[in-house]
Amino acid sequence: MFKKVSLVFFSTLWCCSVFLFVYRIVEPDTATDVSPNLVSSTISDANPQTLMNTADSVNEIKYYYFCTVEHQDCTYMNETVLKNLAQQMNVESFDFLEFVDVETLYSDWTPAKLKSVWGFENYPALVAAKDLGNSFEILNAIEWVETVPLDEQSVKDWMIQNNLWTGTIEDKGEVIDKPIDEQ
């Protein structure tokens, strides 16, 4: 009887050990922080006056990436969409893009307030805003919607629209060295 109990105990222990060992080998990587790698800086306050006070001059256009590293949609944007676009542009980071961490926003900012102030209510979101001195103007914004999530093409189109894209545009088959002003 003792042999059977010992055999069952050690067999179970061996199976659990093998399972844990195999799991550690194929364990998924943890999400990486986007802020130091792909964008120029990290901001934790969405107050427009605070954000626009970082502008060097009146009429300067600033580009913001609203997201949080803890959210799975943001992880997808960081690890797939933005990294692939950075590779296509042959850059290591998007120096024009400022990361706004929305993790603490929803305690003070309702989706309706975000929509009225920043032009979006879901995140991840990309926003172009122009400093007008005492106020600011939202030029355009794109956001993640559950039924229509942001993908590489929509983010690339947003960058092209804002004259930020310096990679190849497949439709024309040409490389743009510098953004072209559309006036």
The owner of tokens 């069952």 is 8
| Each residue's pLDDT expressed in tens, for the chain with a length of 183 residues | 778 877 888 888 887 787 777 777 776 554 444 444 555 555 555 555 555 555 566 678 888 888 887 778 888 888 888 888 888 888 888 888 888 877 766 667 777 887 888 788 888 888 888 887 777 888 888 888 888 888 889 889 998 988 888 877 765 555 555 555 544
The architecture CATH gives domain 35-175: 3-Layer(aba) Sandwich (3.40)
Residues near 179 by Cβ (< 8 Å), separated by ≥ 6? 163, 164, 165, 166
**β-strand partners of 151:** none
Pair of tokens at residue 153? 């093409």
Pair of tokens at residue 121? 């209510």
Indicate the domain borders of the chain.
Answer: 35-175
